[in-house]
DNA sequence: GTGGTCTAGACCACC
DNA sequence: GTGGTCTAGACCACT
């Protein structure tokens, strides 16, 4: 289930786009799986249908989903290119945060130790 | 110098708050160092003075800076508590991204190797 | 055979109406020729019978076809008046496009040269 | 001034997109010229602000205009590539209509004569 | 006053 | 029931 922060500075439809796309890329949503209908999803998340519409349109524009009129929205098969892009973006964020941590006085070995604990 | 993304969904004053606070916590801005005047900063960043004002007020509220009337805004001495909070938040983000990377098929040792390369 | 663009903004039954009427006026469909039954046509075009029904009713209203109950829909004899209307409408569109081309910097002689090549 | 057909099957925002883009490509709207504000245009055309918004967003996506937040929408400099695309599309329509006219019994020389008269 | 977002409710074409 | 469009009115951040 998706949790939305309605007080956030990030727009609601962008939050939805971001979460759905993550679910797709990570495989939690399988190719050709049907997404909730605009109306059902809107009532589930307690937002207007237009907000869902905008999110779905954006996901379609970004290549994550496709639409069949009068039928519904479906998950596209994510190719390796898209996946690699996601990996690159995430590594970039990682690098950024690690740089920040070192500025805060944390040494790389400490970070690596932390990550190894995450693994468990 | 600060770069702002005026097309971003994140509000401009929030971008400023986020960047200044990072500069402070990481030590790039030293305690009691004077920040640019509202007007100068506004003209530097090509935004309105109100936007800078709002950013400074928020930074003051969050405890990063203090104000001396008719003199200017200054960097507060960041205590260890604040620093630790930052570290905790950053580690939380790190953990999040690592979880995402593993879902994308990257193994922890690969991530660690990547981090070691960053170190160089 | 008719090709439909189901992603178009133009409604499906309007696309059908437009294509059938062109086939009739241009003589590809001869007077008193029987049109496909609603059900067959619907399954051929992979649309619902209601859509075909609506298209046929509209074609009847516009005077292109007539219906014999329990028998089917048939092509009407297109009189010269209808034909002339079509010709006028098409010339109007032509004029429109030519005006646009001249605004784009294309000279009339170039357009005529292009048309002469089409002739071949 | 723009006239909208609210009874048309073509969506209102698409009508606006189509007309504005023609005005831009043909040079009636000059590069960096400011477009009407969302609200003013909406009240002029007697549509909702969202409809204008959608039209402007689409025009931006198609590369005809650009936006400066809190300032307005402006006409982009149309490069020759875009112009050539427009010319190609219009010639395609022309060819289509000419084919239809010939099916209706009009000979190419007649069409050329007609065009020459348009020239006057 | 500017763009941008959101809601709640409505209507349409289609399945 | 499905997506798609539209309205009218509201609030926000920024100039």
Q: What whole-number distance in Å separates Cα of residue D9 and Cα of residue C14?
A: 9
What are the residues whose beta carbons fall under 8 Å from the beta carbon of C5, sequence distance 6 or more?
Answer: C15
Task: Please report residues of D whose CB lies closer than 8 A to that of C106.
Answer: 87
The reply to whether C116 touches chain D by the CB within 8 Å rule is yes
DSSP H helical segments within chain D, as ranges?
12-25, 38-45, 49-61, 80-103, 108-119
Locate the chain B residue with the closest alpha carbon to A83.
B104
The reply to whether B23 touches chain A by the CB within 8 Å rule is no
Subunits that touch chain C (at least 3 Cβ pairs < 8 angstroms)?
Answer: D
Residue nearest to nucleotide F13 (CA to C1'): B11
Quote the pLDDT of residue D119.
Answer: 61
The values of phi and psi at residue C66, to 5°, are -130, 165
**Confidence band of A117 (pLDDT split at 50, 70, 90):** confident
Give the gap in angstroms from C-alpha A70 to the nearest C-alpha of chain B. 31
- Residue pLDDT, tens place only, D5-46: 988 888 999 999 999 999 998 889 999 999 999 999 999 999
User: Which of these, A84, A6, A64, lies nearest to A55 by C-alpha position?
Assistant: A64
The values of phi and psi at residue B34, to 5°, are -80, 135
A63 neighbors A82 (Cβ within 8 angstroms): yes
What are the residues whose beta carbons fall under 8 Å from the beta carbon of B89, sequence distance 6 or more?
Answer: none
Average pLDDT of the residues of chain B: 88
- Pairs across C and D, CB distance < 8 A: 89
Sole residue written with tokens 């090549």: C117
**Confidence band of C88 (pLDDT split at 50, 70, 90):** very high
Quote the pLDDT of residue C92.
Answer: 93
User: Which of these, B6, B79, B60, B1, lies nearest to B36 by C-alpha position?
Assistant: B1
Return the ∠ at Cα A113 (arms to A111 and A119), rounded to 5°.
Answer: 105
A59 neighbors A17 (Cβ within 8 angstroms): yes
Task: Please report residues of C whose CB lies closer than 8 A to that of D91.
Answer: 101, 114
Verify whether the Cβ–Cβ distance D22 to C100 is below 8 Å. yes
Residue D1 pLDDT > 80, yes or no?
Answer: no
B6 neighbors B45 (Cβ within 8 angstroms): no
The values of phi and psi at residue B47, to 5°, are -130, 175
Task: Please report residues of A whose CB lies closer than 8 A to that of B97.
Answer: 90, 93-94, 97
The reply to whether D111 touches chain C by the CB within 8 Å rule is yes
Quote the pLDDT of residue C119.
Answer: 61
Average pLDDT of the residues of chain C: 88
Residue D33 CA and nucleotide F2 C1' are separated, in Å, by 41
First to last CA, chain C: 25
- Residue pLDDT, tens place only, B41-80: 998 888 889 899 999 998 998 889 999 988 999 999 888 7
Give the gap in angstroms from C-alpha B62 to the nearest C-alpha of chain A. 17
Closest residue to B97, CB basis, from A14, A90, A114: A90
pTM equals 0.81
The whole-number average pLDDT for the span A34-63 is 94
Quote the pLDDT of residue B101.
Answer: 92
Q: Is C108 helix (H, G, I), strand (E, B) or coil?
A: helix
Verify whether the Cβ–Cβ distance A112 to B114 is below 8 Å. no
Q: Is A67 helix (H, G, I), strand (E, B) or coil?
A: strand
The values of phi and psi at residue B31, to 5°, are -50, 140
Verify whether the Cβ–Cβ distance C26 to D100 is below 8 Å. yes
């Amino acid at each position: 289930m998706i949790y939305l922060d309605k007080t956030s500075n990030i727009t609601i439809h962008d939050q939805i786009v971001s979460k759905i796309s993550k679910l797709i890329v990570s495989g939690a949503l399988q190719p050709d799986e049907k997404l909730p209908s605009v109306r059902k999803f809107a009532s589930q998340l307690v937002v207007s249908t237009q907000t869902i519409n905008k999110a779905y349109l954006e996901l379609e524009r970004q290549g994550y989903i496709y639409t069949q009129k009068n039928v519904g929205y479906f998950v596209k098969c994510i190719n390796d290119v898209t996946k690699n892009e996601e990996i690159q973006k995430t590594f970039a964020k990682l690098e950024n945060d690690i740089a920040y941590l070192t500025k805060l006085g944390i040494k790389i070995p400490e970070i690596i130790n932390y990550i190894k604990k995450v693994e468990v």
